[in-house]
Chain A
Amino acid sequence: MGVLIKNGRVIDPSQSLDMVSDVYVQGDKVKEISKRIDTPRKSDTVIDASGQVVAPGLVDIHVHLREPGYEHKETIKTGCLAAAAGGFTSIVCMPNTNPINDNASVTEYILLKARTEGIVNVFPIGAITKREKGDELAEIGEMCEAGCVAISDDGMPVADSGLMRKAMEYVRPFGIPVITHAEDIGLSAGGVMNEGFVSTELGLRGIPSASEEVGIGRDIILCELTGTPLHICHVSTKGSVRLVREAKKRGAKVTAEATPHHFTLTDKEVYGYNTNAKMNPPLRTREDVDAIIEGIADGTIDVIATDHAPHSQDEKNVEFDLAPFGIVGLETALSLSLELVEKGIITLDEMIKKLTVIPSEIVGIERGTLAPGSIADLVVFDPGMSRMINPGEFLSKSRNTPFAGWELKGVVSNTIVSGKVVFSRS
């Protein structure tokens, strides 16, 4: 049993590869990439990828799968379906479920569910502190052994700098990174959107840029103190981009991600009290968006990640203050990233790099490459085909997106995980 993908433009930044060729997958491994491969066996599946791009399956290192505990928003099964539809073959999930993934038994539960019900690879992130309370360290070693690829208290940043330092020191021998949602809760002060002219006009409490920047500044300093690799989630401000750029220049082991919504939208989306434009960190100003785009272009921003945060319609269909933070992203990320290529900000190769090999390296998973002998996770997509974003067609359980009705390019035709076609669209 094999899969032969013919005539696609094969782009694999891990091997500096970009040429029209055939890819042959045998079993769960990439067997061969060359100009012309004839079907070796009758039982092989043949995919005609003419005019399409064939790349390593996309890797998203910032996903909320909601299971266990919030199955009305998303399950591991539906989250994986949404990932496959969006071209993602590996997703790394945050620990803020219920119960929180702060011990090995929750980690094992997630991995078991993923193995039995999920169609893409799921790599869990463990909590830094017990119940994400910021009081005492979670059993990081055991979670690491159970399969956690990083630790993070995403959404509930560790306020105590001393504890954060201990977490970073403690985790270093385990060889996994600390992923930080950097925020100074005191500065955020109950804010619900970016602090600026729009929040002033709308009478909504603002979250200043300084809230994220103070958090990032602290965590960079702790990264330099401890020497533990630090990955910074969803950079949203101009000042944050500058802090990361300067830290990298000094040689700090810092990486950073940006989400498609933060490099595409501004806080003007909130006008009309649109709860699908409510997320944390919030949408910022044009100046911030431009700085993030600049950071993506010059490599300050290493990774594109979605912060896929499903919430039910009933939860979002309320007063702005009461609506939960977050939007879904798995099924729109590729198209929104392709906009950066279309505008000439990055090349297609660079875009794929930020969605495959770099995120894989950050969390240390053997994915994001089509090198012969590697696990056959692939995506085939048409970068030029347009489609209208229709949340009704999402495979995610939730529909909370600000991009409904947008006309975007980029359609995933096939997603292959470990040699199996798990998603296809004709």
Chain B
Amino acid sequence: MAFDKKHILGLGELSAEEIKVILDTAESMKEISTRDVKKVPTLKGKTVVNLFFEPSTRTRSSFEIAEKRLSADVLNFSASQSSVVKGESLVDTARNFEAMGASIMVIRHGMSGAPFVLARQINASVINAGDGSHEHPSQALIDIFTIREKKGKIEGLNVLIVGDILNSRVARSNIFGLRKLGANVRIVGPATIVPEYFSEMGAEIFHSLEHAIENVDVVIMLRVQSERKTLEYFPSLREYSGLYGLTREKLKLAKKDVIVMHPGPINRGVELTSEIADDPGAVILEQVANGIAVRMAMIYLVALGESL
């Protein structure tokens, strides 16, 4: 099956087939990363701009490496806040880069839906690198890719996501993607940040980690995002960590071959104890490595779609 999407705005918008195409393409891309010369000429002469309206180290670096391995010319634009603050609209900012010849824009923005605003109004392809509390498709694709690599499949697996589901774009993208590929998704956290509405998205809701973790194949720990005012939703980090922090004890209730994932950056001692973060069952650094392959696949496929 061909991939003919011009943009990748979220997993909510992709079909199961399209998600599989990205994952399969990422496998070939991963092979490139094992070569001595980790570079292919696929995007030679194309300009990709990374528009980052929110601070990010790993996502931006990962996209940049991915773009360079595909031989694209890379431009980086970062602003601590939306350029609206200095009077220029998001669309005007993007049009400037378009005028410089950018044909793909990777956008990270603090407000949900910002990539949709761009996709409607510019000619370049748009890849969502995280928008507000909405979606973070590349991160979820990395998680799903890593799970598939470790477990050989997605369908039928029990996947548990722990933490601030309400404010998490990683959670939404994972729920969309994992449900489409046939996994059972459980979510757990305080009732203030794990609202009932998520059950309509196909997730099973828990408020006790001990109950939720029983018999799961995969645990995805979300970061406590203090910058997103998560802290007003529960009394203290201490209480949160006691109830929802992952310890070796709690992990024993999961399946024996459970894998533990975290989109990073980790608050050691809050979401995870160090012994788990550094355990062989934790695949956190493998996620980072897979990130480059998955992002190469995303850029490659929209570039292909764009030239169709």
- A322 and B84 contact, CB distance less than 8 A: yes
A contact residues around B12 at 8 Å (CB): 201
**Which residues of B lie under 8 Å from residue A199 when comparing CB positions?**
197
Closest Cβ of chain B to A278, distance in Å, is 11
9 residue pairs, one from A and one from B, having the closest CB atoms: A203-B134, A273-B113, A203-B133, A200-B197, A203-B112, A319-B111, A321-B111, A320-B113, A197-B200
Complex-state Cα separation, A204 to B90, whole angstroms:
18
Chain B residues contacting A272 (CB-CB under 8 Å) are 116, 120
Q: Do B114 and A319 touch across chains, with their CB atoms under 8 A apart?
A: yes
For B84, what are the chain A residues with a Cβ–Cβ distance below 8 Å? 318-319, 322
Q: How far is the CA of A272 from the CA of B112 in the complex (A)?
A: 11
Cα–Cα, bound, A202→B116 (Å)? 11
* Residues of chain B contacted by A200 (CB below 8 angstroms): 166, 195, 197-198, 200-201
Task: Determine if A34 is an interface residue (Cβ-Cβ < 8 Å).
Answer: no
**Residue B132 lies at the interface, judged by CB distance under 8 Å to chain A:** yes
* B132 adjacent to A314 (CB under 8 Å): no
* Nearest B residue (CB) for A320: B113
Q: How far is the CA of A203 from the CA of B128 in the complex (A)?
A: 14
B135 at the interface (CB under 8 A from A): yes
Give 27 pairs: A residue, B residue, CB < 8 Å, sorted on A.
A197-B197, A197-B200, A199-B197, A200-B195, A202-B112, A202-B134, A203-B133, A203-B134, A203-B172, A204-B112, A204-B113, A204-B132, A272-B116, A273-B113, A317-B117, A317-B121, A318-B84, A318-B89, A318-B90, A318-B117, A319-B84, A319-B90, A319-B117, A320-B112, A320-B113, A321-B112, A322-B82
For A275, give the chain B residue with the smallest CB separation: B117
Residues of B within 8 A of A (CB): 12, 82, 84, 89-91, 109, 111-114, 116-117, 120-121, 131-135, 166, 169, 172, 195, 197-198, 200-201
Query: How many angstroms from the CA of A318 to the CA of B116 in the assembled complex?
Result: 10
Question: CA of A317 to CA of B135 in the docked complex: distance in angstroms?
Answer: 21
- Interface presence of A196 (CB below 8 A): yes
Q: Which of B12, B84, B113, B198 has the most CB of A within 10 A?
A: B113
CB–CB A319/B197 < 8 A: no
Q: Which of A200, A272, A318 has the most CB of B within 10 A?
A: A200
Instruction: Name which residue of chain A comes closest to B167, CB basis.
Output: A203
Residues of A within 8 A of B82 (CB): 319, 322
Nearest CB in chain A to that of B132: its residue: A203
CA gap between A272 and B134 in the complex, in Å: 12
Residue in A closest to B136 when the chains form the complex, CB atoms: A203
- With beta carbons under 8 angstroms apart, the residue of B113, B135, B198 that contacts A319 is B113
Inter-chain pairs besides A200-B200, A204-B112, A272-B116, 5 sampled, C-beta below 8 Å: A202-B134, A273-B112, A314-B89, A321-B112, A321-B132
Q: Which residues of chain A are within 8 angstroms of B111 by Cβ–Cβ distance? A: 319-322
Q: Which residues of B contact A322 (CB under 8 A)?
A: 82, 84, 111
Q: How many A-B residue pairs have CB under 8 A?
A: 67
B168 to chain A minimum Cβ distance, whole angstroms, is 9
B82 to chain A: closest residue by CB: A319
Q: How far is the CB of B180 from chain A (nearest CB, A)?
A: 14
Residues from chain A with a CB closer than 8 A to the CB of B169 are: 203
Residues of A within 8 A of B113 (CB): 202-204, 273, 319-321
Q: How far is the CB of A183 from chain B (nearest CB, A)?
A: 20
**In residues 192-250 of chain A, which contact B (Cβ within 8 Å)?**
196-197, 199-205
Q: Which residue of B lies closest to A318 (CB)?
A: B89
Establish whether residues A203 and B135, one from each chain, have CB atoms under 8 Å apart when the complex forms.
yes
Q: Which residues of A contact B197 (CB under 8 A)?
A: 196-197, 199-200
Q: How far does the Cβ of B73 sit from chain A's closest Cβ, in whole Å?
A: 27
Q: What is the bound-complex CA distance between A317 and B112, given in angstroms?
A: 14
Contact partner of A273 (CB less than 8 A), chosen from B91, B116, B166, B201, is B116
B236 to chain A, nearest CB (A): 20
A319 touches B201 (CB 8 A): no
Residues of A within 8 A of B133 (CB): 203-205
- The residue in chain B whose Cβ has the minimal distance to the Cβ of A270 is B113
- Nearest Cβ in chain B — how far from A399, in angstroms? 16
Bound CA–CA A319/B109 (angstroms): 10
Closest-by-CB residue of B relative to A319 is B111
Q: Which residues of B sit under 8 angstroms from A205, Cβ to Cβ?
A: 133
Most chain-B CB neighbours within 10 Å: which of A314, A319, A320? A319
**Who on chain A is nearest to B134 by CB?**
A203
Does A273 lie within 8 Å of B117, measured CB to CB? yes
CB of A190, distance to nearest CB on chain B (Å): 10
Contact: B117 with A201, CB < 8 Å? no
| Cα A196 to Cα B199 with chains together (Å) | 11
Contact B131–A203 (Cβ < 8 Å): yes
Q: How far is the CA of A321 from the CA of B84 in the complex (A)?
A: 12
Given the complex of chains A and B, what is the CA–CA distance between A200 and B193 in angstroms? Answer: 11
- What's the minimum C-beta distance from B107 to chain A, rounded to whole angstroms? 11
Chain A residue, CB-CB nearest to B109: A319
> Whole-angstrom distance between the alpha carbons of A314 and B112 in the complex?
19
Q: Give the complex CA separation of A201 and B90 in angstroms.
A: 23
**A270 shortest CB reach to chain B, Å:** 9
Task: Return B75 CB to nearest CB of chain A, in Å.
Answer: 21
A69 to B74, CA, bound (A): 44
CB distance from A203 to the nearest CB of B (A): 3
Q: How far is the CA of A321 from the CA of B82 in the complex (A)?
A: 12
* Bound Cα distance from A197 to B131, whole angstroms: 18
Contacts of B166 in A (CB 8 A): 200
A320 to B134, CA, bound (A): 12
A318 to B195, CA, bound (A): 28
Interface positions, chain A 268-297, Cβ under 8 Å from B, are: 272-273
A319 to B195, CA, bound (A): 25
Closest to B118 in A: A319
Chain A proximity of B5: nearest CB distance (Å):
15
